[in-house]
Amino acid sequence: MVKKYKVTLQAEERQSLEAMTQKGSHQSRKVINALILLNCDEGEFNQRRLRGEDVAEVLKVSLRRLDRVKKRFVEEGLETALGGQPRQRQYERKADGDLEARLVALSCSEPPKGYSQWSLRLLADRAVELEYVDSLSYETVRRVLKKTKSNPGGGSVG
């Protein structure tokens, strides 16, 4: 059985959504979500009611998106319904200033035998071998070196 979420907007919520769709500069996703909520409103302040299929067709969105927006509105409120889920993952930075300095120094040193220059993977592996960190991805090494002047592609050409 499919759960049906009933959107009932208060007068002030409806006014703010209408204002958002008519003027100002907002992300297109927020405007479309506002239009979804306005057209799916089953409250007393909505003069005309549309079916979900009609709303989806006019706004060129899927019925699944309509259901997701309505569900977020009912369960989590207006702001979450407009903007989507707040980001919950927080990543701890692995490359602090000390590691960055060591990586730059390592990249300026002689590459291992058999290599003409350091690769990002070689730098990451050597940093782990030297026990600077427990594990390190080559992408983290790339980001660290990109911030420095030792970045081969960082200088101006010509």
62 Cβ contact list (under 8 Å, min separation 6): 56
| Reported confidence tier of residue 1, pLDDT bands at 50, 70, 90 | very low
Provide, rounded to the nearest whole percent, the portion of the chain with pLDDT above 90.
29
Contact of 120 with 152, CB cutoff 8 Å? no
> Would the pLDDT of 86 be above 80?
no
147 has a pLDDT exceeding 90: no
Q: What is the pLDDT of residues 11-58, one digit of tens each?
A: 888 888 888 888 877 788 888 888 888 888 777 766 677 777 888 888
Q: Bridge-partner residues for 56, per DSSP? A: none
The span from the CA of 140 to the CA of 124, in Å, is 8
The pLDDT of residue 19:
86
Which residue from 56, 53, 48, 44 is spatially nearest to 13, judged by alpha carbons? 44
The length of the chain is 158
Separate counts of helices (H) and strands (E) for the chain? 8, 0
